[in-house]
Amino acid sequence: MYLNHFNLNRFPFPNAADIEHYFEHGKRKIMLQAIEYAVLNEEGLTTVVGKIGVGKSTMLRLLVQNIAATVETIVIEDPRLSPLEFLQTIAEQLNLPVAKGSSVNNLRSTLSKYLTKKYFAKKRVVVIIDETQYISGAVLEEIHLLSNLEHSEKRLLQWVLFGQPQMEAQLSGKAASPLKDRIINRLHLKPLTLKEINSYINFRLSVSGYIGKPLFDRSSIELIQAISGGSLRKIHLLAHKALMSAYARGSQQVETYHVHLADQEHFKTKKATPRGNDNWDRSAVVIDNSNARIKKRAVSGKKSHKAAPHTQKPKSDWWLVATVVMAITTGAFSWNIAKDNMDQKVYNPRWVSPVKWSSVENQQKEIMAKSSSNNLQYAQNSSRNVPLVTGFSFN
């Protein structure tokens, strides 16, 4: 593969979550600290909302690792359960003896006794649920009942709910209205920005042993941001495939061409494929963020990373036809006028100097005087045969 080619000691962009080298940058580090603080200080219920692929599951695993020494954790990765199955899952992870055929009320009572015992032993218990958007209204009601368990104004059970944006709508619904007031912290995990993506890719390469100038140029970073939308999952896939493409072509740096090939293989945001050689103009790829498509502009030697405007409608056919007809008509009319002027030898006085034009006017007056005494036909013939500007030069 490309490890030796780029002097790496491990693959920098794995598919699985890497909590050993977590990217604690900016708001993500603050958010993780806020969740830990809420759990350790028994504040109650915290929600973390984020789109697919932004790193919710990775943050969940890192949270469990950070608090495991002081907090007993229950992790439910698939909450599509009935209330009975939900309580059984919690009891099993706490190693509680559960009689076969126990009812919901029996399980709830067993949990209450266990949590009270843990409270006096100064042990905290937290339930962390992933993909909460799939949870049923009946289970939400069960969470509300368990969140009521407290002693000396301290919650006996802490909750951290991770989910996609649909979770917010679900928790705002009528079925979850009693639970809504229990939410102490509402956190939003947003996609990475362009600056954060640049830092993240360099961070991943650094922890993988890379030393040297930036392996991804700025244009390739911008293209990754435009295609991925800041999703960590897509960033990993694009960066990994782009490194493979650069290695296959013997390049020592990842450029837009390599990222585009990775996009064509997996996301296909553009049907056309660029020329398959390293002489292809890397700046000829721009992204239309309005519909996540890649466009190829004419090669001009200038780099452009701005989104191609997609709102202006093309001119219709009738406008093109009218423009052509108008141009032809105007040209023919101008040619007829010029031809008549040359036949009659009529010149614009602005083209002749004032002194020369004065002599021309005197000759024209003499012709007009003769025409008054002769018939109209003779005057016209005389006017045509007089060389008005003979012997004059134009400025």
Q: Are residues 170 and 69 in the same domain?
A: yes
pLDDT tens, 216-260?
A: 999 999 999 999 999 999 999 999 999 999 999 999 999 999 999
**46 neighbors 159 (Cβ within 8 angstroms):** yes
Using pLDDT thresholds of 50, 70 and 90, give the confidence band for residue 372.
low
Q: Are residues 237 and 371 in the same domain?
A: no
Q: Are residues 135 and 80 in the same domain?
A: yes
Is residue 156 predicted with pLDDT exceeding 70?
yes
Q: Is residue 247 part of a domain?
A: yes
Q: What is the mean pLDDT of the segment spanning 180-204?
A: 93
Q: Are residues 272 and 391 in the same domain?
A: no
Q: Is residue 170 part of a domain?
A: yes
Looking at 157, 189, 221, the residue that finishes a domain is 189
Of 146-155, 202-211, 229-238, give the lowest mean pLDDT range.
Answer: 146-155
Q: Are residues 163 and 51 in the same domain?
A: yes
Using pLDDT thresholds of 50, 70 and 90, give the confidence band for residue 266.
confident
What whole-number distance in Å separates Cα of residue 97 and Cα of residue 8? 50
pLDDT tens, 77-99?
A: 999 999 999 999 999 999 998 88
> Measuring CA to CA, which residue among 195, 310, 235 is closest to residue 54?
235
Question: Which structural domain range is residue 75 located in?
Answer: 42-189
Q: Are residues 218 and 271 in the same domain?
A: yes
Q: Are residues 96 and 77 in the same domain?
A: yes
pLDDT tens, 268-321?
A: 765 433 333 444 444 434 444 333 344 444 333 344 444 444 444 444 566 666
pLDDT tens, 101-115?
A: 889 999 999 999 999
Q: Are residues 166 and 108 in the same domain?
A: yes
Beta-carbon contacts of 7 under 8 Å, excluding residues fewer than 6 positions away, are: 209, 210, 211, 212
Q: Are residues 279 and 330 in the same domain?
A: no
Amino acid at site 265: E
Q: Is residue 305 part of a domain?
A: no
Q: Are residues 224 and 169 in the same domain?
A: no
Q: Is residue 30 part of a domain?
A: no
Q: Is residue 13 part of a domain?
A: no
Domain count, the chain: 4
Q: Is residue 72 part of a domain?
A: yes
Q: What does the angle CA 117 – CA 123 – CA 129 come to, to the nearest 5 degrees?
A: 100
Q: Are residues 158 and 267 in the same domain?
A: no
Using pLDDT thresholds of 50, 70 and 90, give the confidence band for residue 36.
very high
Helix or strand holding residue 187 (H, E): strand 183-189
The model's pTM is 0.67
